[in-house]
Amino acid sequence: MSGDACDEMHLLIQADVDGELGPAEAARVRAHLDRCADCEAVQQGLLSLSERVRRDVAYRPAPEALIAAVRSRVAAAAVSPEMAPVTTPAPRRRPGWIAPFGGGFALAACLALAVVLPGGGGRGLPDAVVAGHIRALQPGHLMDVVSTDQHTVKPWFDGRLDFAPPVKDLKGGGFPLVGGRLDYVAGRPVAALVYQRRQHVIDLFVWPDGGHVGRGPADSRRDGYNVLRWSWDGMAFWAVSDLSPQELADFVRLWQANP
Amino acid sequence: MKWRPRTGPEREAAVPVAGEFERAVLPHLDAAYNLARWLVRDGASAEDVVQDALVRALSYFGSYRGGDPRAWLLRIVRNVAYGELAAHKRGTTTSLDGVGDDDSSALQVADPAADPEAALARQEGLTQLERALAALPTELRECLVLRELEELSYKEIGHVTGAPIGTVMSRLWRARQSLARQAPTCGNEGAQA
């Protein structure tokens, strides 16, 4: 390109090549190109590059496996009433696609667990929290308050629980808060904070660790769900998810590290 | 253990919006994957990006107010991809990654030692043009992919990238100049090495 006047033309020439100009502007550009060999060369260069790109640059369509995975997930969500557009005061983050994974398996698992669960006590706690998690995966059971905003979720528990659970937003670490609900573990009302990691749900159960509720092992596994437990500031925390143990541990570390 | 029913009048409405979502969005899966593939480092990450983006799109669908569903979906894909890139950034590169744009700056050339864009560029079996495209700074590359491969308008590209149209035009120009310079046609057409 040469000539100061023509330098102003290059974006217009490009826009013309891209079909973005209205007829009057396009006519003005064409008139200029008739007079200016340099700008004509610019246009030719853009046209030939565009042709080369469309010929030589591979368009990468979605692999069959990916298409199938997405289709089945979306189709499964179609049977869940979680997909209904519900007006709630808080912004919606409703992982309705989780419900079908709960579906029949969760119901059967719940019935099985209801039969074998020991009544209360420290040793039964991993079973109880996993059962609570599985039950929550049923359609309509995951969240009472749907919000990614910790300043909405935390006060929601006021008046509903006799303690105030700490609620943290871990979106920066890849574990966004999606909401919360009341739940019961070993006969005690607890807070369940719901987090998300890709397509996985994490339930973080919180209740005051007065000692009388008992303790369980720091990490355990039930029915394909991983459980991590810790205590802090007089509260017991139980994280349950089908995430891998490593990623669940990442979640716990992130929680512990954040104010 | 108690079963605590959480159904209320608003939760019992079973309006099947998922079917609408399927019809609106699934035809654009190829576009979603293509964009993801050119933004992040490898196919596996691109698949994760698309899955995460579809999940997010599903939850956003209640607020979708019409308009081109492809551009709507691609905006979500682009944002998820940038999140993925940011999460994996190690050290510094010379490429801008969506952190503002200065049209007055000189042409940005990607640092070949930088991951992950350079990793894509070093793959076998790419044409010279593809390698040059992969080596572009991300925000230039995305404009070119959206214009040439997806044939989006400037306005649509602006919507997907969140950039004003003037910035889109400038980035397209710089991307094209860079490609023409790094993959000249003389004797190298389609060369693979």
Cα A255 to Cα B148: distance, rounded to the nearest angstrom: 44
Cα A102 to Cα A106: distance, rounded to the nearest angstrom: 5
Q: Mean pLDDT across the stretch A24-53?
A: 94
Instruction: Say yes or no for a CB contact (<8 Å) between B13 and A92.
Output: no
Cα B109 to Cα A67: distance, rounded to the nearest angstrom: 35
Suggest the residue from B7, B40, B48, B59 to mutate for an interface test with chain A (most A CBs closer than 10 A).
B59
CA distances in angstroms from A229 to A136, A197, A233, A236, B97, listed in the order given: 19, 19, 14, 7, 38
Give me chain A's average pLDDT, please.
Answer: 78
Cα A205 to Cα B4: distance, rounded to the nearest angstrom: 16
A139 has pLDDT over 80: no
> Cis (ω within 30 of 0) for the bond into A61?
no
| CB of A168 closer than 8 Å to CB of A150 | yes
Query: Considering only CB atoms, which chain A residues are within 8 Å of B133?
Result: 53, 57
Residues paired with A146 in a beta bridge: A179
pLDDT category at A108 given cuts 50, 70, 90 is very low
At A215 the pLDDT is: 54
A30 has pLDDT over 50: yes
Q: Mean pLDDT across the stretch B101-105?
A: 44
Query: Considering only CB atoms, which chain A residues are within 8 Å of B130?
Result: 56-58
Spatial CA neighbour of A238 closest among A250, A226, A247? A226
pLDDT tens, position by position, A172-188: 889 999 999 888 777 67
A87 has pLDDT over 70: no
At A212 the pLDDT is: 44
Q: Which helix (H) or strand (E) holds A239?
A: strand A235-241
B35 has pLDDT over 80: yes
Q: Searching chain B, which residue's CA lies closest to the CA of residue A92?
A: B59
Range of A118-122, A184-188, B13-17, B171-175 with top mean pLDDT: B171-175
Residues paired with A230 in a beta bridge: A237
Spatial CA neighbour of A178 closest among B56, B25, B70? B56
Q: Mean pLDDT across the stretch A30-46?
A: 94
Q: Which two tokens stand for residue A5?
A: 């006047």
A174 shares contact with chain B (CB less than 8 Å): yes
At B53 the pLDDT is: 93
Whole-prediction pTM: 0.52
Considering only the C-alpha atoms of chain A, give the largest distance between any 2 of them, rounded to a whole number of Å: 91
Which of A198-207, B65-74, B101-110 comes out lowest in average pLDDT? B101-110
- ipTM, two decimals: 0.73
Q: Given 3-state DSSP classes, what are the helix, strand and coil percentages for chain A, each rounded to the nearest 5?
A: 45, 20, 35
Query: Considering only CB atoms, which chain A residues are within 8 Å of B158?
Result: none
Query: Considering only CB atoms, which chain A residues are within 8 Å of B34?
Result: 59-62
pLDDT category at B186 given cuts 50, 70, 90 is low
Instruction: Say yes or no for a CB contact (<8 Å) between A88 and B10.
Output: yes
pLDDT category at A11 given cuts 50, 70, 90 is very high
Residues paired with A232 in a beta bridge: A235
pLDDT category at B190 given cuts 50, 70, 90 is very low
Share of chain A above pLDDT 70, in %: 76
Find residues 104-123 of chain A whose CB sits inside 8 Å of chain B.
Answer: 114, 117
